[in-house]
Chain A
């Protein structure tokens, strides 16, 4: 592609307007042309539907809570630390972990598209990709957090990470106070997807 490819493009308007028919039509064209193997599409969907998702990130956070050496390694070079757990790849080639503390709450957004750490959290939820979140998370993160039921103490600063490059961010939330003595598997159960984006907090252990 050359640099002249910069204007608006309308070829897609030849396809059916209704999205379900549109994707079906495009798939049929590419399969007839020998450019796409339907089994490869099934394999990609299986990967993100069943194998790669927020439980991966939850295991990383639980280990960071349990193992101080791993926590330090994760905060120093998250890509390297999570590769040791088998997590790497598309839309997670470069990862930084940011830790919530008593003074700072982190929240992640992508205002320009919907960049998200796929190997750790899977495909982003609808709200993360919404115009509302993309527009508002940087300007009024506290109002957005309130819509998720999260209210921060007045003395805690919010740091919003706008994923404008190929660095992907995962939030390491604060470990719940009632979780002393729990093992890594049990801790991972407390870690929600939203707590690793920064729009939620981990669950409190059941007593």
Chain B
């Protein structure tokens, strides 16, 4: 039921390879891919949840094969076609028209980059509802880590935490709900909680009896424990 990006806890991987402290971009094209993604995002067709979902929707074999910024590039090309900003055929060799068009008024200008990055896109919302859970409450994550609005849709409840019992550690306020926002169904803000799960609740062979994993989970991912 999960998609390939939901990697937490998966077996089979080898060692993590640490890198020197100040490596920013291992390859020059990485920086170009990042910049292109941010600049195209500024056209305003999609939000961060849609762009994450576009990466997650890549064919599982491609998702597994692509390096990190290759996933970004493929998702970006797909989003540009889906939103009608470019035609499918534009992506073919020699596509996109031979006569350059003047810079659109919607395009990100160099002089606005600093403001755009400095502002970001906060996801907290003023909302007049009440929070169902308080710090210290025992909660259980849904047994099925699936989007409940759109079959196979975007969700941020990892499969490894599905059905697990934990306790509310922090209340982060009301945040835009990705399961809705990724599909153009509105921001639908909900309370967001940091929930601490004992490692023994998540893994058959936890490394240490006192270890915990903390996840940020929206209220509708959780149910109260009796």
The interface of chain A, by Cβ under 8 A from chain B, is 1-3, 5-12, 14-16, 19-20, 22-37, 39-45, 47-49, 52-54, 88-94, 96, 109, 111-114, 122-123, 125-127, 129-136, 138-144, 147-148, 154, 157-167, 192-194, 199
Q: In the complex, which of the residues B6, B92, B95, B207 contacts A143, with contact meaning CB atoms closer than 8 Å?
A: B207
Residues of chain B with a CB closer than 8 A to A25's CB: 91, 93
Q: State which size class the interface on B falls in.
A: 35 or more
Question: How far, in angstroms, from A155 to B93 measured CA to CA in the complex?
Answer: 60
Asked if B33 contacts A23 (CB within 8 A), the reply is yes
Shortest CB distance B200–A (Å): 12
Asked if B7 contacts A23 (CB within 8 A), the reply is no
Residues of chain B with a CB closer than 8 A to A14's CB: 77, 88-89, 91-92, 95
Asked if A158 contacts B208 (CB within 8 A), the reply is yes
Asked if B21 contacts A54 (CB within 8 A), the reply is yes
The interface of chain B, by Cβ under 8 A from chain A, is 5-19, 21-29, 31-36, 38-40, 43, 45-46, 48, 50, 52-55, 57-59, 67-70, 73-78, 80-83, 85-86, 88-93, 95-98, 100-104, 106-110, 112-114, 116-124, 149-153, 156-158, 160, 170, 172, 175-176, 178, 183-185, 192, 194, 196, 202-203, 207-208, 210-218
Asked if B123 contacts A93 (CB within 8 A), the reply is yes
Asked if B25 contacts A49 (CB within 8 A), the reply is yes
Question: How far, in angstroms, from A193 to B73 measured CA to CA in the complex?
Answer: 27
Asked if B107 contacts A6 (CB within 8 A), the reply is no
Nearest A residue to B112 by beta-carbon distance?
A40
**Contacts A6-B153, A31-B100; is A142 near B22 (CB within 8 Å)?**
no
Question: How far, in angstroms, from A123 to B21 measured CA to CA in the complex?
Answer: 12
**Contacts A3-B153, A159-B211; is A35 near B34 (CB within 8 Å)?**
no
Residues of chain A with a CB closer than 8 A to B40's CB: 30, 35-36
**Contacts A30-B40, A135-B13; is A6 near B34 (CB within 8 Å)?**
no
Asked if A114 contacts B68 (CB within 8 A), the reply is yes
Q: In the complex, which of the residues B6, B98, B108 contacts A111, with contact meaning CB atoms closer than 8 Å?
A: B6
Give the total number of A-B pairs whose CB atoms are below 8 A apart: 342
Asked if A126 contacts B19 (CB within 8 A), the reply is yes
Asked if B32 contacts A135 (CB within 8 A), the reply is no
Residues of chain A with a CB closer than 8 A to B73's CB: 12, 15, 19, 22-23, 26
Shortest CB distance B43–A (Å): 6
Nearest A residue to B72 by beta-carbon distance?
A23
**Contacts A12-B74, A44-B38; is A35 near B23 (CB within 8 Å)?**
no
Residues of chain B with a CB closer than 8 A to A45's CB: 25, 31-32, 34-35
Shortest CB distance B99–A (Å): 8
Q: In the complex, which of the residues B48, B77, B156 contacts A112, with contact meaning CB atoms closer than 8 Å?
A: B156
Residues of chain A with a CB closer than 8 A to B7's CB: 111-112, 131, 134-135
For this complex, 9 residue pairs linking A to B, each with C-beta atoms less than 8 Å apart, are A1-B45, A5-B82, A12-B77, A19-B33, A20-B28, A48-B25, A112-B156, A127-B17, A135-B11
Nearest A residue to B48 by beta-carbon distance?
A166
Question: How far, in angstroms, from A11 to B78 measured CA to CA in the complex?
Answer: 5
Asked if A126 contacts B23 (CB within 8 A), the reply is yes
Question: How far, in angstroms, from A141 to B89 measured CA to CA in the complex?
Answer: 46
Q: In the complex, which of the residues A44, A160, A166 contacts B34, with contact meaning CB atoms closer than 8 Å?
A: A44
Residues of chain A with a CB closer than 8 A to B54's CB: 9
Nearest B residue to A157 by beta-carbon distance?
B210
